[in-house]
Amino acid sequence: MVSRKCLALVLAVLLSGGGMSFAAPSCCGPAFAAEPFRIAIMTPTLSSSEDEFRAGQNMAKKYPDIVKHITHPDNFNAEIETTISQIVSLADDPQMKAIVIASGGSGFLPAIQKVKEKRPDILFITAPIWDDPVLMSKHVDLCLDTDWIRRGETIVRKAQKMGAKTFIHYSFPTHLAKEVISMRKSMMEKTCAELGMTFVEVITPDPQAGDGVAAMQQFLREDLPRQIALYGKDTNIFGTNCPMYDVIIDEAIKQGFIVAEQCCPTPTQAFPTVMGLEIEPEDQGNFEKINAMIRDYAAAHGMTGRLAGWPIPVTIYLPELAVEVAKRMIEDPSFKATDTRELESFGKSLFGVGVEFNHYQDMPNYLVMIMESIIY
């Protein structure tokens, strides 16, 4: 009995000591911040999406005393309760002032509402999540996302500039049921009609029902040569699902068709896999270098001007921007993140690439962006 009490005492001392050592560095934080604070960022796991995960890691490395990086379970839809309790428990830390959620999933709103009830002072930034936009705008302080619908126009225009006469849109039922994806598709169809291009819609096996991603990719492998035989090389291929791009870009190099933009434009997805890029440790995360490697590979395979994208991964840009914005908003209350011009110049100062922000359907705190293009 005595020994157990001793143990409890020792543990208590150790824990409080640990707590002190944790708290100590925060006293040396920025002088203008009134009190020490913490920001949490939640991302998918490494194997489900590297970009967001590394963005979270980068931020935690850059601001070790401020940023806390956590991940949500892989099969997010099946373990929604775990995710909610993870987010809610973040609010137990009295120093927690902001929570960033960067995940291409939906179902986070209940957690956000729960935290807001308990701690209305906590700032929420999503970068992005895909719940109902109107509800998101109501409960989330700042919603960031790519400009899905306007990209329906910009991608087609870019494809035409790159020489495309036909535009093929690959998708599947569960994706087309999402409002933004089907609105983007309609926009693409409309823009194609305006520009006199042929718009073709192809449905692939559904990766979210039944046989999974493999069946979809296998179908693309078989279908792309068929379509190119039918419509010729001056065809732009667009798919609505990231895993499609390993096959699309691989086939593009073999068949010579155009890929103007990926669904989630990034030089770090599909390109390194297909091109077998060897990225040296010192170049890790150096997008200029990675882009140069892609350009060289494209040139060596006669694909100059046929592949394009955004110079840095949007899936790294948005989560990192969200953390920086949260930090800025806490430190400097006069910073207006919902002002598109202010956010644009803040983004430019951090990443050095031009980004255009707009309000989504006139919602004041829902901002959507399009980045400048890079043509390899």
Partner 1 sequence: MMRHISPPTRIMLVFLVVLLTLALKAGIDPTRLAGDALRKLGMSAVLVLSLVPMMRAGMGLNFGMPIGVSAGLLGMCLSMNARLTGAAGFAAAIGGAVAVGSLFGYVYGRILNVAKGREEVAGVFLGYAFLPLMSVFWTLAPFSNRKMLYPVGGQGLRPRIGLDPFFAGVLDKGFDLTVGGVAVPLGLLLFAGVLLALVALFYATATGKTFSVVGENERYARILGISVEGRRIASALLSTVLAAVGICVYAQSYGFAELYESASVMTFPAVCALLVGGASRWRAGAANALLGVAIYQTMYLLSTPVANAYLASETTELFRMVVTNGVILYAFLRR
- Strands 308-309 and 374-375 turn out to be antiparallel
Q: Which stretch binds partner 1 (CB under 8 A): 8-16, 127-135, 275-283, 356-364?
A: 275-283
Can residue 43 be called a binding residue for partner 1 (CB under 8 A)?
Answer: no
- Gap between the Cα atoms of 272 and 78, Å rounded: 31
> Contact with partner 1 (CB under 8 A): which of 209, 232, 300, 364?
209
State the nearest-atom distance from the C-beta of 167 to partner 1, in Å: 16
Distance in angstroms (rounded) separating the CA atoms of residues 350 and 324 = 9
Residue 246 sits in the site that holds partner 1 (CB under 8 A): yes
**Phi-psi region for residue 212, left (φ > 0), alpha (ψ -120 to 50) or beta?**
left
Which of 38, 41, 44, 50 touches partner 1 (CB under 8 A)? 50
State in angstroms the smallest separation of the CB of 206 from partner 1.
Answer: 6
Rounded distance between C-alpha atoms, residue 253 and residue 225, angstroms: 12
| Distance from C-alpha of 75 to C-alpha of 95, rounded to nearest angstrom | 30
* Cβ 308 vs Cβ 260: under 8 Å: yes
Q: Does the footprint of partner 1 cover residue 3 (CB under 8 A)?
A: no
> Minimum distance from CB of 72 to partner 1 (Å)?
16
Verify binding: residue 316, partner 1, rule CB under 8 A: yes
Token pair, residue 255, equals 């068949």
Binding letters toward partner 1, positions 218-237, x by CB under 8 A: xx-xxx-xx--x--------
Identity of the residue numbered 16: S
Contact call for residue 168 and partner 1 (CB under 8 A): no
The first and second tokens of residue 115, run together, are: 């935290």
CB of 41 to partner 1, least distance (A): 16
Closest CB to partner 1 among 172 and 310? 172
Under 8 Å between Cβ of 171 and 181: yes
DSSP, collapsed to helix, strand or coil, labels residue 169 as strand
Give Cβ neighbours of residue 189 (< 8 Å, ≥ 6 apart): 169, 199, 201
User: How big is the site for partner 1, counted in residues (CB under 8 A)?
Assistant: 50
DSSP helix, strand, coil percent of the chain (3-state; round to 5): 50, 15, 35
CA quadruple 54, 133, 343, 330: dihedral positive or negative? negative
- Residue 84 vs 312, nearer CB to partner 1: 312
Which part of the chain contacts partner 1 (CB under 8 A), choosing from 85-93, 231-239, 279-287, 367-375? Answer: 279-287
- By beta-carbon proximity to partner 1, the closer residue of 318 and 337 is 318
Contact between 173 and partner 1 per CB under 8 A = yes
Which residues contact partner 1 by CB under 8 A?
46-47, 50-51, 53-54, 57, 74, 172-173, 202-206, 209-215, 217-219, 221-223, 225-226, 229, 243, 246, 250, 268, 272-281, 284-285, 290, 313, 316
